[in-house]
Structure 1
Amino acid sequence: MENDNHTKIKRSTLDNLKFVFRYIWKWDKSLLYICGFNSIFIAVAPFIWILAPKFLIDELMGIKRVDILIKILLVTLLISAVTKYFIAYLAGAYRMKMSNIRFKFIDVIHEKAMEMDYKHTEDPDVLNAIRIAWRTVSNPHRGIGGILQKIFTILGSLAGFLGYIAIILTLNPLILLYLVVNVIIIYFINLKVNEYEKSQEGKRTEYFRKSVYVSSTMSDFQYGKDIRVYSMKDLLLRKKEYFDKIRTDISEDIESKRYRSDVIDAVLLLLREGIVYGYLIHRVVTGSLTIGNFTMYVATIGGFALWMGNLMKDIAFVKTNCKYVGDLRDFLDIKDEEKVKEPLKVPIQKPYEIEFKNVSFKYPNSDNYIFKNLSLKIKPGQKLAIVGVNGAGKTSLVKLLTRLYSPIEGEIYLNGININQFDQKEYYRLFSIVFQEIKMFAFNVTENIALKDKNINHERVKESARKAGIKEKVDSLEKGFSTSILKVIDEHGIELSGGENQKLALARALYKSGEIVVLDEPTAALDPIAEHNIYLSFNELIENRTAIYISHRLSSTRFCDVIAFMEEGEIKEYGTHDELMEKDGKYASMFNIQSQYYKEENMSKEAAGYGI
């Protein structure tokens, strides 16, 4: 994922931790205060039961004063109870706040995904980057969630670590050195395993994304008919099995390395315990160590090894997971095209004139040009039909006009002003579009038309639905315009047909009432009667606005002012319907072929109607 727009930057662990803490400080400072208080109790907790047994045994081996023994025990129990209570209380409070912080990071990813330049959404590298960024924040035990969990205890562990060192130094500095070397060896082994796991994350994420796609396809009812009719079950299962096998092989490889790390840890533990306990027993036997101190050192050394081992593992964990934070930052730092610093106001003079001037364009990571030196002018209030075979570049033209993509060369003008000079969000407000690929949201009908949940003009919603020819259908539903679309959120939601979805999408465009109307194959899923009705009301729908109508059905072009016939990214023919028919070129040929098809289709329907 390394190009001008999205480059991976090598960042230090400290730099990534600063990034996380900056957001924590911005969103909820109390999380850091809780962490600080917890560190005090975490540091104190292990030494309560390290020192208390020593004092009890010393007293039992000495004067045996009952009142002193009771005081030692009561004070120990009280301090232990208070410490455990605050650790549990602070952990609960921290957990809730930690979840809120993680959810805010998720929101940051969502905002970036919705606002980044559209071209990134069709880039496989960016799709993988989104998936990795999502995994950085979605798992409460890994990525940012894991870092927050470890930071909660690491600071206290570091403070406790100093306490362990102070006690062991009173025994023998060489014992401390030996224990530290053991734990450092384990730290670097764990770090190496964690870094290897991180190095495989990109590949594992890629195949996870592919597996999720196949899984969602198998359970998506939109594909249900194709899966059954074309017997695709075995094909999909094989693909999922293949993707899952690669993921499993990677995971098994990682776990194999982790297992070898654990074996080395166990061997070092046996050596450590044997040497250290042998030394302590020798000191007791020679009379240079009391039983009370023996008990304290046994507890200290056993606790120190475990404490430092866990501390080093936590540090290795944080170091590795900070690299995931780096991946998140790489995603958030994906650069969009530079926006104009002082945008011009969108002209108020309407209807609008649109001009493509010497425009060349190819999609990112592709060498094939869709357009080369394309020039086209759409006059104010003109209704232009763009027709041609599939792959002629019709939809790409719309993407350029709406600034979803930018030309490689050339310029696009609105009323004589380069469209890049306008604020993008303000520019978007000009358009009412029905895209070729229609998407319904799991909202109710009203929200699907208005595309908002506040300040909705309900009368306009109904009027837009009427003009689009979907109101009668909606009125027939039990909940009318409050009926949910899809069953993703509401189990009582409905699934509309392809034609009904197109009508609802048209109602959506009409409700927005943009000054430039773009209809990309808006009647492809409609039956001939519904399509005919749309054509008859086209002027009512568009009114005096500039409009672009894209279709491969040439019968739909006759109500437009002018027609552009496109082929291989070029405008081969341009003129009115009558002019192009008189020219007797490719448009006329395609129109005659399609006309013959519709005549045959209508004759068949008439025959069927008379029972012939």
Structure 2
Amino acid sequence: MNSIFKAIKLVFNLDKKMFIINYGIFILESLSFVFTIYALQFTLEKLGLFISGNLTTSKMIIFMFLFILVKILIYAFRSFMGFYCEYYDLVLSSKIQKKLMDKEFLPINFEDNNFLDVLSQAKVGASNLTYITNAYIDVVFMYGFNFLFLAIYLFLLSPYFVLILIVVLLLQILHNKFDKEIEEKLEENIKNLRRKREYFESLFLDKETVKELKIFNTSGYFLKKFKSIINSFCDASEIFYKKLLINDFRLGLLKIICYIISYLIIYFLKDEVNIAEFGVVFVTIRSIFSLSEEGFYGRIKEVNSLLPQLDAFLKILESNCEKNITYEDDIIFENVSFKYPNSNEYALKNINFKIKTNEKVGIVGVNGSGKSTLSKLVLGLYEQSEGKIKTVKSSAVFQDFVKYELSSIENVKISNSQNEVDFSKFKKIDYFTENDLDYDKILSKRFSDVSISQGQWQKLAILRGLHNNKEFFVFDEPTWAIDPIVEKKIFNFLYNEIQTGMIVVTHNLSSVKQMDKIMVLEEGKIVGFDTHLNLIENNDLYKKLWTTSTT
């Protein structure tokens, strides 16, 4: 229940005014139910007088008209309530999604499978937060108030009737407890399968993968994988749904016993109530079971399966995503080691170096040597497992850059919206020299008719990184999608354009030959850190890499 209280507090803080209005309407809904019961009893009493000849036809017609008017007004109110609740849910849902989007996760989090499972659950929890809180508050403000009124009403008729309420309520509490335990075990078993299912579903809906599915005719292969995941998902679910079915069947039998007890009580007390009260008692008993099934059982049962996702959402909101970064005048690594989450192997081991903010440094090595990992530590995107890091505020261009479906200008300006875009740089790196396209057009086949090559996208990523105007720059394979002629032009441009220091991670050693220093990595360790000439003479690995890349 702690997570429910936290969720309600969150919803209240997101929009206090709408919260009070929305749940104030729920209380009015409860009062309308009370009013309906009394209106029914009043009408039945008048009907009894009319049948016995103690009430005129005209007065009976007036009382019937008033009863119908009451029903119409209550129906109109409930229609308005439904409209406002839907509007409230729409407004609140957008604020909840923003709350999740405002959470600045560290990139290292996305290397952790456990975090990805929790995040997948949290997305479901966020989308259902209003539904979950509405269900529980409904039970208190609407179903709970109705139930309390019925208890008072029946107690005034006869204390024996309260036994029905107590038995029904206890049954629902026990049943919901068993259901919740079953649902929690189910979620624990399927959360990883759900994420796998979402992945294989996305393969058939993503623009990039659809091309390969068609070319390599791999749809059948992935459909088999998807079917296997679905079967595992269904098998895991079947066991728990059988348990839920048995729990429901047990509750059904107990409810039949409650019905029998209820009618026996009514039968033995038939001489103590008048005909109007007798009719209302039958309606009330039915309402008790209806409230129990719809509110205490139905609403709570529906949200029980969502409580683990709610817990995940609250866990994400409460998680600490602050980066533990120390900014200095230079970049300094002291005995730094790094492991990826859930891994026992070091990606980097005992790294020590110092780079001044006016130095230009290349980082080279074979695949898997730790080059990109090192660059992310410099940028503060990852946090070291051991050792101490001091770094500087840097801009960056990544190998896996993002293709924002925005205009060319927006793709550049988003890195620093306060600065005006320098269009001269577009021409300096040959962006759109062949096609004089409008820089304001959206680069997306989804939203416009403009499409550009991978190389042009990479140039935009470089321009975006430069536009950020930081005191240091980190480039991780910034030209891998660009032809050698333009690549040389871009590196010359970077050397001349950037007056501060920079790090360039690359496989193309000729691109970093003129750097102040070059760092050579092998299996997560620094095996060389010197000028190009000194490394050629004294470092066998660098000499091998240089010879291979230039022949």
Distance 2:547 2:3 in 1: 67
Distance 1:124 1:96 in 2: 36
Quote how far apart the aligned CAs of 1:518 are: 1.3
Q: Is the 8 A contact 2:362 2:518 kept in 1?
A: yes
Q: Is the 8 A contact 1:447 1:453 kept in 2?
A: no
- Is 1:116 the counterpart of 2:83? The answer is no
Distance 1:201 1:42 in 2: 34
Q: Is the 8 A contact 1:486 1:495 kept in 2?
A: yes
- Is 1:486 the counterpart of 2:444? The answer is yes
Please give the per-residue CA displacement for 1:77-119, whole angstroms capped at 9, x wherever unaligned.
Answer: 233233332232233223212322222122111111xx13332
Q: Indicate how the Cα distance of structure 1 residues 546 and 176 shifts in structure 2: closer, same or farther if over 3 A, else same.
A: same
Of residues 206, 227, 236 in structure 2, which corresponds to 1:250?
A: 236
Q: Indicate how the Cα distance of structure 1 residues 380 and 149 shifts in structure 2: closer, same or farther if over 3 A, else same.
A: closer
Query: What secondary structure, in the 3-state scheme, does the structure 2 residue paired with 1:85 have?
Result: helix
Q: TM-score, normalised by structure 1?
A: 0.81
Distance 1:396 1:97 in 2: 45
Distance 2:310 2:534 in 1: 61
Please give the per-residue CA displacement for 1:484-514, whole angstroms capped at 9, x wherever unaligned.
Answer: 23345x1x25443332222111111122232
In structure 2, give the amino acid aligned to 1:311.
Answer: G
Please give the per-residue CA displacement for 1:371-401, whole angstroms capped at 9, x wherever unaligned.
Answer: 3322222244222111110111111111111
Of residues 22, 25, 31 in structure 2, which corresponds to 1:34?
A: 22
- Is 1:85 the counterpart of 2:93? The answer is no
Please give the per-residue CA displacement for 1:461-490, whole angstroms capped at 9, x wherever unaligned.
Answer: x223223321325x533xx212223345x1
Quote how far apart the aligned CAs of 1:254 are: 4.0
Q: Indicate how the Cα distance of structure 1 residues 18 and 225 shifts in structure 2: closer, same or farther if over 3 A, else same.
A: closer
Aligned to 2:425: 464
Quote how far apart the aligned CAs of 1:153 are: 6.0
In structure 2, give the amino acid aligned to 1:51.
Answer: Q
Q: Is the 8 A contact 1:468 1:504 kept in 2?
A: no
Quote how far apart the aligned CAs of 1:15 are: 5.8
Q: Is the 8 A contact 1:468 1:534 kept in 2?
A: yes
In structure 2, give the amino acid aligned to 1:500.
Answer: Q
5+ unaligned residues in a row in structure 2: which ranges?
A: none
Which is worse superposed, 387-396 or 497-506?
A: 497-506
Distance 2:305 2:538 in 1: 69
Aligned to 1:292: 276
Q: Indicate how the Cα distance of structure 1 residues 25 and 251 shifts in structure 2: closer, same or farther if over 3 A, else same.
A: same
Kindly report the root-mean-square deviation, in angstroms, between the aligned alpha carbons of the 2 structures: 2.9
Which is worse superposed, 499-508 or 16-25?
A: 16-25
Distance 1:434 1:101 in 2: 37
Please give the per-residue CA displacement for 1:209-254, whole angstroms capped at 9, x wherever unaligned.
Answer: 1111122122222224433444322221122112222222334344
Distance 1:131 1:561 in 2: 45
Q: Is the 8 A contact 1:48 1:80 kept in 2?
A: no
Please list, as runs of the form range in 1=range in 2, the aligned pairs for 1:177-576 lying within 5 A after superposition: 177-277=163-263, 280=266, 289-313=273-297, 314=299, 324-336=309-321, 353-413=330-390, 419=391, 430-451=393-414, 455=418, 457-458=420-421, 460=422, 462-472=423-433, 475-477=435-437, 480-488=438-446, 490=447, 492=448, 494-542=450-498, 544-576=499-531
In structure 1, give the amino acid aligned to 2:454.
Answer: G
In structure 2, give the amino acid aligned to 1:300.
Answer: T
Distance 1:203 1:94 in 2: 34
Distance 2:62 2:173 in 1: 41
Distance 1:319 1:208 in 2: 18
Q: Indicate how the Cα distance of structure 1 residues 14 and 549 shifts in structure 2: closer, same or farther if over 3 A, else same.
A: closer
Quote how far apart the aligned CAs of 1:566 are: 1.5
Query: What secondary structure, in the 3-state scheme, does the structure 2 residue paired with 1:537 have?
Result: helix
5+ unaligned residues in a row in structure 1: which ranges?
A: 1-12, 414-418, 420-426, 597-612
Query: What secondary structure, in the 3-state scheme, does the structure 2 residue paired with 1:207 have?
Result: helix
Quote how far apart the aligned CAs of 1:136 are: 0.9
Q: Is the 8 A contact 2:338 2:348 kept in 1?
A: yes
In structure 1, give the amino acid aligned to 2:509.
Answer: L
Please list, as runs of the form range in 1=range in 2, the aligned pairs for 1:580-599 lying within 5 A after superposition: 580-583=535-538, 585-596=540-551
Distance 2:405 2:425 in 1: 20
Aligned to 2:9: 21
Q: Indicate how the Cα distance of structure 1 residues 579 and 199 shifts in structure 2: closer, same or farther if over 3 A, else same.
A: same
Quote how far apart the aligned CAs of 1:435 are: 0.8
Of residues 44, 53, 65 in structure 2, which corresponds to 1:54?
A: 44
In structure 2, give the amino acid aligned to 1:329.
Answer: L
Q: Is the 8 A contact 1:136 1:144 kept in 2?
A: no
Q: Is the 8 A contact 1:43 1:157 kept in 2?
A: no
Aligned to 1:128: 117
Q: Indicate how the Cα distance of structure 1 residues 205 and 44 shifts in structure 2: closer, same or farther if over 3 A, else same.
A: same
Quote how far apart the aligned CAs of 1:127 are: 1.1
Q: Indicate how the Cα distance of structure 1 residues 26 and 538 shifts in structure 2: closer, same or farther if over 3 A, else same.
A: closer
Distance 1:502 1:549 in 2: 15
Aligned to 1:97: 88
Q: Is the 8 A contact 1:381 1:545 kept in 2?
A: yes
Distance 2:302 2:420 in 1: 53
In structure 1, give the amino acid aligned to 2:427.
Answer: R
Distance 1:246 1:34 in 2: 41
Distance 2:241 2:319 in 1: 33
Which is worse superposed, 291-300 or 395-404?
A: 291-300
Which is worse superposed, 154-163 or 381-390?
A: 154-163
Query: What secondary structure, in the 3-state scheme, does the structure 1 residue paired with 2:473 have?
Result: strand
Q: Is the 8 A contact 1:39 1:157 kept in 2?
A: no
Of residues 23, 37, 44 in structure 1, which corresponds to 2:32?
A: 44
Quote how far apart the aligned CAs of 1:551 are: 0.9
Q: Indicate how the Cα distance of structure 1 residues 37 and 379 shifts in structure 2: closer, same or farther if over 3 A, else same.
A: closer
Distance 1:512 1:379 in 2: 20
Quote how far apart the aligned CAs of 1:547 are: 1.2
Distance 1:438 1:260 in 2: 53
In structure 2, give the amino acid aligned to 1:116.
Answer: F
Distance 1:385 1:442 in 2: 31
